[in-house]
Amino acid sequence: MAIRVLLVDDQPLLRTGFRMILEAEPDIAVVGEAGDGQQALDQVRALQPDVVLMDIRMPRMDGVEATRQITGPDRSGPAKVLVLTTFDLDEYVVEALRAGASGFLLKDAPAAELVQAIRVVAAGEAMLAPSITRRLLDKYAGRLPSGDESVPPPLHTLTEREVEVLKLVARGLSNAEIAAELFVSETTVKTHVGHVLTKLGLRDRVQAAVYAYESGLVRPGAG
């Protein structure tokens, strides 16, 4: 079945460009467009897309609030959000990741990267290397809660190994790299990551990285 995509951007020319790129792919179908966050919410409810390609800065309702409502507890469909940004390190991207976005992509990314991003997000994975998440959090560390020195209560639900895995996710390591670091199989790492997400109520490893920083488990700039 084709991946159903909703394009959300206040610039019609950009939406047209994205549509041309995506509709050339046999496994992707653009099911609709929206020019602001409020229209996006209406279209998500009506069209039930798998992936929403979401601009951040738009009139009426920005992409951060729209993302929060699309991926929140009252969500009415399966839509995942892939945020588009003009700038490599956009402060609003951090807020979008907190709000539930599955990753972000630069608007001037190559066409092949856009297509791959859609496929990765549709498959339920996070579309950005955790190292990029870390760069974002490092840059905007001053805007994040400093966190208590003590371990936040939810972290007490994790095993010692799961805490190790969470720290390595936040440092930007892939599952394969974590497996090598801990001398375990990649399958075992995937299991640990799954347990971390479930216990902390997180959607994906992007939110896990954000959580690790916000909770103070990992400090911006730490090795």
More confident residue, 222 or 166: 166
Nearest Cα to Cα of residue 93 among 122, 129, 57, 47 = 57
Mean model confidence pLDDT for the chain: 84
**For residue range 84-143, what is the model confidence (pLDDT) as tens digits?**
887 665 667 778 888 888 888 888 888 998 998 899 888 877 766 555 666 666 665 555
Contact 51, 80 (CB under 8 A): yes
pLDDT at 146: 47
Note whether 64 and 91 are within 8 A (CB). no
The pLDDT value recorded for residue 27 is: 96
In the prediction, which pLDDT does 105 show?
83
Average pLDDT over residues 52-59: 91
Between CA 11 and CA 9 the distance in angstroms is 5
How many angstroms separate the Cα of 62 from the Cα of each of 34, 36, 38, 59, 140? 12, 7, 8, 6, 20
The pLDDT of residue 86 is 78
Cα atoms found within 13 Å of the Cα of residue 126, Cβ hemisphere only? 25
pLDDT over 80 at 189, yes or no: yes
Q: What are phi and psi of 29, to 5 degrees?
A: -130, 125
Provide the percentage of residues in the chain whose pLDDT is more than 90: 45
The number of CA neighbours under 13 Å toward the Cβ of 217 is 25
**Prediction pTM value:** 0.74
